[in-house]
Structure 1
Amino acid sequence: MAKYMLLIHGDEQRWATMTPEEIARRDAGHRDFVAGAGGAIVEGNRLQDADNTTTLRGTTITDGAFLETKEVLGGYYVVEAPDLDAAIAMARKLPELAWDYNAVEVRPVWEMS
């Protein structure tokens, strides 16, 4: 089985203004995703806000995300799947895709040997 990283991107300002009902729906969606994935999930976590980021570029260290973008990385899952199509099918079940200000990137993991 190959490993794929499902990277959850979105608008952090919009996440901060989600209603309690939207948060409950999102959190329930993640519980459903984990339950439905069975043993395919290797790891997954929500990330702290982007203002807690430290970026290294060459010899320079800066506080905060390096790129000035609207979307930030909010969390991830590492999953095992037989192929990219299966990983995409899993990613389609993530609750963030119910809102138009989010995206999920599916990227194969290049495992170090």
Structure 2
Amino acid sequence: MPQFAILIYTDESLHAVEAAASELAENDRHARDLQASGSMSLAYALTPRASAVSIRQAGTTAGPFVNAEQFVAGFYVLEAPDLEAAIAIARMNPAVRTSTGGVEVRPIHSGGITTSTA
């Protein structure tokens, strides 16, 4: 079945180290629902942008690679029969209901989970 990356854009990640369970409840419930449906194969929440480190040819700097009002706060991979089905599932993400957030749906071209054989 085709896979789709769902990139979650917000104005700041809720997943700070000190985040309260109540702050994460709606997103955690959404993740559990996707997991129970069998459509989500992996998911990662990213820490707030202040913890990012950017690497360019000129060197390494503290902070996000791109300074923008919204940034990728997390992502997950869905399996869906087609793009329309993936969009319908992605519409349920809590970020879509905020005034500053949303999601981006992108078909996955190639790749997958790799493991070390060392």
SS in 1 for 2:74: strand
Q: How much is the aligned-residue C-alpha RMSD, in angstroms?
A: 2.5
Deviation at 1:28, TM superposition (A): 2.6
Aligned length: 108
Task: Give the conservation status (yes or no) of the 8 Å contact 2:90–2:105.
Answer: yes
SS in 1 for 2:31: helix
Match of 2:94 in 1: 95
Q: How does 1:4-23 map to 2 (within 5 A)?
A: 4-12=4-12, 15=14, 23=24
Match of 1:70 in 2: 69
Task: Give the conservation status (yes or no) of the 8 Å contact 2:34–2:40.
Answer: no
Point out the structure with the larger strand share: 1
The C-alpha deviation readout for 1:78-100, integer Å capped at 9, x for no partner, is 11112111111110111221212
Deviation at 1:27, TM superposition (A): 3.3
SS in 1 for 2:102: strand
- Normalising by structure 1, report the TM-score: 0.79
Instruction: Work out the percentage of aligned pairs sharing the same amino acid.
Output: 36
Higher relative CO (CA 8 A, sep ≥ 6), structure 1 or 2?
1
- Aligned residue identity for 1:106: V
Match of 1:82 in 2: 81
Task: Give the conservation status (yes or no) of the 8 Å contact 1:7–1:77.
Answer: yes
Matched residues in 1 for 2:45 and 2:111: separation?
Answer: 24
